Amino acid sequence: MHVLMLTHRVPYPANKGERIRAYNWLRALAGKHSVDLLTLADEEVTHAHRQALGKSAEHVLIVPRCRWSIFWRLALGLLTGRSFTEAYFGSRCFAKTLKRLLSGGGYDACLAERICTSVATDRVRQPQRLVVDLIDVDSAKWWLYAERPRGLRQWIYRRESNKITLLEHHLADFAMATVTVNKHECHLLNAVVPQARALAIPNGVDTEYFKPSRHHAAIHGLVFVGQTDYWPNVDAVTWFAKQVWPELSGWRRNLLGVAEAAAGHKEMAHWHLAAAVTIGKGLKAEGKGIAPGTAKAIELAEEALAEMDRPK
């Protein structure tokens, strides 16, 4: 089959969850089918990145977005009654390129990542055999976000949840299937959108790649892996540090926080961990399909912890 894959961010380097998932989709599809990739980009895409994607995709089409226009796009979304997600990722160039690709009628199937790219397929032409990888149910996620703040932020989050719910209902009417990351999200999607043809495809873990090497002595401690500018992850590791870690006997209380922040991309100032836990930074190593530092940290640690406190 000839497959067109749409992503809202360039799936390489595969250094965070959604990029890892998209990159694995691309490699898996390329193993049996011919794949073209159309993606948005809000950061520099190097020649090496294009080459890496070109090993799986026959054609790689990258549509750049200007970050300086984000505020105006969001304001326009508010004025026109669209969701902020649509406004943020909306691109006339992306839609124009997609229309040109689909007008040829040469694709047997289309895989759209996240709801923001799937909406574009509806506005230009509904492709045959459209499969949308929602990953998780965005409407429920935004409603969950609205539980904490008050005032304007709560109104914004609830508005976004309501707008995304309408998009999810509309998407379910013409998509052949909607994919989520686990069965919990499938059940949640069907609760929000009963007519959705939901299917769960989990991420999985490459256990052979993360298998400890005999050439390194293990650090007597535990490593946390997660993106630290995402508050459910912060909640999860904080809960673990306060509720679980003190109950573990025979361990030196040393929790290595390894994520995008530890790799130098984000700050960890907003982490509120229990006083007994020390955050260790400075591990620097290249990992395949993960953030720099993560592979080496997992290899050296005796145990690894991935955030699972909330379904989001």
DSSP the chain: -EEEEEESS---S--SHHHHHHHHHHHHHHTTSEEEEEEEESS---HHHHHHHHTT-SEEEEEE--GGGHHHHHHHHHHHT--HHHHHH--HHHHHHHHHHHHTT--SEEEEEHHHHHHHHHHH---TTEEEEEES-HHHHHHHHTTS--THHHHHHHHHHHHHHHHHHHHHHH-SEEEESSHHHHHHHHHH-TT--EEE------TTTTPPPTTSPPEEEEEEES-TTSHHHHHHHHHIIIIIGGG-TTS---EEEESTTTTTSS--TT----TT--B--------TTS-TTHHHHHHHEEEEEE--SS--
Residue 160 lies in a domain: yes
pLDDT band at 15 (very low <50, low <70, confident <90, very high): confident
Q: What is the pLDDT of residues 56-76, one digit of tens each?
A: 999 999 999 877 777 888 888
Can you give the residue range of the structural domain that contains 281? 219-306
Cα–Cα nearest to 40, from 61, 63, 23: 63
User: Which of 134-143, 242-251, 287-296 holds the top average pLDDT?
Assistant: 134-143
Residues 9 and 84 reside in one and the same domain: yes
pLDDT band at 34 (very low <50, low <70, confident <90, very high): very high
End residue of a domain, out of 200, 233, 248: 200
CA distances from residue 301 to 15, 205, 251, 252, 256 in whole angstroms, order as listed: 20, 17, 12, 12, 8
**Backbone dihedral angles phi then psi of residue 257, each to the nearest 5 degrees:** -85, 105
Over residues 260-268, mean pLDDT? 37
Residues 177 and 225 reside in one and the same domain: no
Q: Are 199 and 152 in contact (CB under 8 A)?
A: no
pLDDT exceeds 50 at position 145 = yes
Residues 36 and 130 reside in one and the same domain: yes
User: How far is 127 from 175, CA to CA, in rounded Å?
Assistant: 9
Residue 205 lies in a domain: no
Domain count, the chain: 2
pLDDT exceeds 70 at position 263 = no
For residue 270, which amino acid is it?
H
Residue 185 lies in a domain: yes
pLDDT exceeds 90 at position 30 = yes
Residues 276 and 176 reside in one and the same domain: no
Residues 74 and 127 reside in one and the same domain: yes
User: How far is 260 from 121, CA to CA, in rounded Å?
Assistant: 32
Q: Name which residue leads in pLDDT, 136 or 298.
A: 136
CA distances from residue 264 to 13, 222, 224, 227, 284 in whole angstroms, order as listed: 15, 20, 16, 12, 10
Query: How high is the pLDDT of residue 269?
Result: 32
Q: Which two tokens stand for residue 52?
A: 């890496």
**Taking all residues of the chain, what is their mean pLDDT, rounded to a whole number?**
76
pLDDT band at 153 (very low <50, low <70, confident <90, very high): very high
Residues 233 and 92 reside in one and the same domain: no
Cα–Cα nearest to 98, from 6, 1, 2, 3: 6
Residues 43 and 167 reside in one and the same domain: yes
CA distances from residue 274 to 191, 204, 238, 288 in whole angstroms, order as listed: 37, 30, 7, 31
Over residues 149-172, mean pLDDT? 92
Query: How high is the pLDDT of residue 287?
Result: 34
- pTM of the predicted model, to two decimals? 0.78
Residue 213 lies in a domain: no
Whole-angstrom distance between the N-terminal and C-terminal Cα of the chain? 33
Query: How high is the pLDDT of residue 299?
Result: 57
Number of other CB atoms surrounding residue 177 within 10 Å: 15
pLDDT exceeds 90 at position 37 = yes
